[in-house]
Structure 1
């Protein structure tokens, strides 16, 4: 028969061994649980980041689409507004020269003329471009006043219809010929100082016939056509 103390020692040793095994098992469980929790947290964070990126991309796409739509609508509105505006009519009559100063006027008296002045003078430098005040057909062109006398120097007369003619005189050069059709604003000559002239200028007349002696007030006529001198 074994001593009683030996049985107690064995039992105590057995209990200690079992307790150690249980402790190890608990530790392993705790470590395993922590790993699972960490993995879950990582997966959740990744999902959240992906969802946020998708939301940002969707918002950017929506904003870009809205901006494009707005630009298209603005363009259509501008085109519609432009189409609704009436087309600008081309000027019917224009000044025969630009950057001028008004000098001798129609019907002005003086020793320069046989009676009264028959037209309107535009003081401009020699060689200034002279244009047709209105479209028509050239019926006179050349020296000696184009047939109206040497006092006019080089001259041009244009027929506009309805017994209306325009005359341009004291020209340095003539760039059109009889029978030529010209448009409103088309260059026909260069201003000068030929004929009975006291300095470079353009002498301009409105006539009811192509010949001298049928002139009317050119300023009043042009103003009636919307041209302000």
Structure 2
């Protein structure tokens, strides 16, 4: 064998060595890939599921929105109920009547005779202390207010006359203080004056009349009128 042939033969790796290297390389690759896959699997197992996070966040958002909307609906419902109650109260005030004072005793009645009156008594007297709150018996507009009976004469002292929507009038006399003015609108139960003992009066009381006009001489029995309106005095 020549030297050249010997030299070329010595440079060729043996088949067994090549096969060993390939096997070793394959094992190494397999180990590396296996370790990577195992790491990826572990990471995937330990990391939160993205879809679950999205679903949870969406559910929480919907729940918050529902809570806010529920509170807003409750507030709106309460506002509607309040307006309805106020409207009902206003309607009741517009149609209801009441006695002009509270905690009273009835004294001189409508139609009584006596030396204190030029004619028969034209109203109903409510015996109350001076300074008792006097209220509008019904909603209306003040048409008389002042001394001298508001224009009906000195016997009434300080007096008020209110015109009502049904065409009737109410009068309040012998007052110690007047708290309304002519042209003022008042509601049922609104404070309009304080009782007193002014004018032709034998003692502290409120003289109350129901009239068909604003002027003296048109009075009707106020107790019977109030009874027809559902008020017992």
Superposition deviation, residue 57 in structure 1: 1.1
Q: Number of paired residues?
A: 207
For 1:37 and 1:162, how far apart are their aligned partners in 2? Answer: 96
Superposition deviation, residue 192 in structure 1: 0.9
For 1:60 and 1:174, how far apart are their aligned partners in 2? Answer: 64
Select 2:143's aligned residue among 121, 138, 141.
138
What secondary structure, in the 3-state scheme, does the structure 1 residue paired with 2:130 have?
coil
Please list every run of 5 or more consecutive structure 1 residues that lacks an aligned counterpart in the other structure: 1-20
What secondary structure, in the 3-state scheme, does the structure 2 residue paired with 1:181 have?
coil
For 2:216 and 2:150, how far apart are their aligned partners in 1? Answer: 10
Please list every run of 5 or more consecutive structure 2 residues that lacks an aligned counterpart in the other structure: 1-20
Superposition deviation, residue 73 in structure 1: 6.0
Select 1:208's aligned residue among 212, 218, 221.
212
For 1:53 and 1:73, how far apart are their aligned partners in 2? Answer: 30
Task: Report 1:1-229 matches (<5 A).
Answer: 32=32, 35-68=35-68, 70=70, 87-88=87-88, 89=91, 90-92=93-95, 94-95=97-98, 97-104=100-107, 106-107=109-110, 114=117, 117-133=121-137, 134-139=139-144, 141-143=146-148, 146-150=151-155, 152-160=156-164, 164-175=168-179, 180-185=182-187, 188-194=192-198, 195-199=200-204, 201-209=205-213, 210-212=215-217, 214-227=218-231, 229=233
Residues 175, 188 of structure 1: 8 Å contact kept: yes
**Scaled by the length of structure 2, what TM-score is found?**
0.60
Match of 1:16 in 2: none
Residues 146, 159 of structure 2: 8 Å contact kept: yes
For 1:225 and 1:106, how far apart are their aligned partners in 2? Answer: 18
For 2:127 and 2:70, how far apart are their aligned partners in 1? Answer: 55
For 2:85 and 2:179, how far apart are their aligned partners in 1? Answer: 38
For 2:38 and 2:68, how far apart are their aligned partners in 1? Answer: 45
The 1:92/1:65 distance shift into structure 2, 3 A limit, reads closer
Root-mean-square deviation (CA, aligned residues, Å) is: 4.7
Superposition deviation, residue 160 in structure 1: 4.7
Superposition deviation, residue 46 in structure 1: 4.7
